[in-house]
Amino acid sequence: MLVLEAMRTPRRGDADSAPALLLYSRTCQHALRAMERLAAHERTRPGTFQRLSALARQIGATPATLGQIAASLGRAGLLEARPGPSGGVRLARPPGKISVLEIIRVVDGTSLEGRCILGFPVCGDATACPAHPVWKRARALLESRLESRSLEDLSRSVQRKHRALSRRARFRLS
């Protein structure tokens, strides 16, 4: 389906912590996970703010890192923040009205455009790497899918994945 389905970055020491090809920065991955968690929070507690420290724990980021990400997302009109003991962050718009690509572009700029999948500093139609013809088509398809996929879609996919993993774990214990 999508590169972003799992929404989990392996930690050092995890059994499956082999290096992965990162199409998006770690900051972008944190932003996507935070926004997904806020969308899930919005389903259960509409309109309420979630504490930044609790959200940081959920996604495996430091509060300082998440604070910087939240500031960027706030400037882009995707998050609202409220200071103080009852403060926190919440989505500024309904999750169905925020595209996954919009979040990526806030954090990583123009997304995948101009990035070479093989890591060459210059790669384009005029100076193509060996993978360029295939990657160019794949990149366009991926960005189209991410543009048409809402944060709500992503959050519900993550919820289904967690349910499936939970069922699989219960099955193994039986």
**Mean pLDDT rounded to a whole number for the chain:** 84
Q: What are phi and psi of 95, to 5 degrees?
A: -60, -25
15: which 2 tokens? 């059994």
47: which 2 tokens? 């309109």
Outline where 15-131 has alpha helix (H): 26-44, 52-59, 63-75, 100-108
**Which candidate, 53, 97, 61, places its Cα nearest to that of 78?**
97
Alpha carbons 169 and 166: distance in angstroms, whole number:
5
Least confident of 36-50, 104-118, 152-166: 104-118
Output DSSP code: residue 26: H
For the entire predicted model, the pTM comes to 0.78
* pLDDT for res 56: 96
**Mean pLDDT, range 116-143, rounded to an integer:** 86
In single-letter form, the type of residue at position 107 comes to V
- Cα distances (Å, whole numbers) of residue 102 to 93, 127, 130: 12, 29, 30
> Is 90 exceeded by the pLDDT of residue 163?
no
What percentage of the chain exceeds 70 in pLDDT?
83
> Is 80 exceeded by the pLDDT of residue 11?
no
* pLDDT for res 31: 97
* pLDDT for res 114: 66
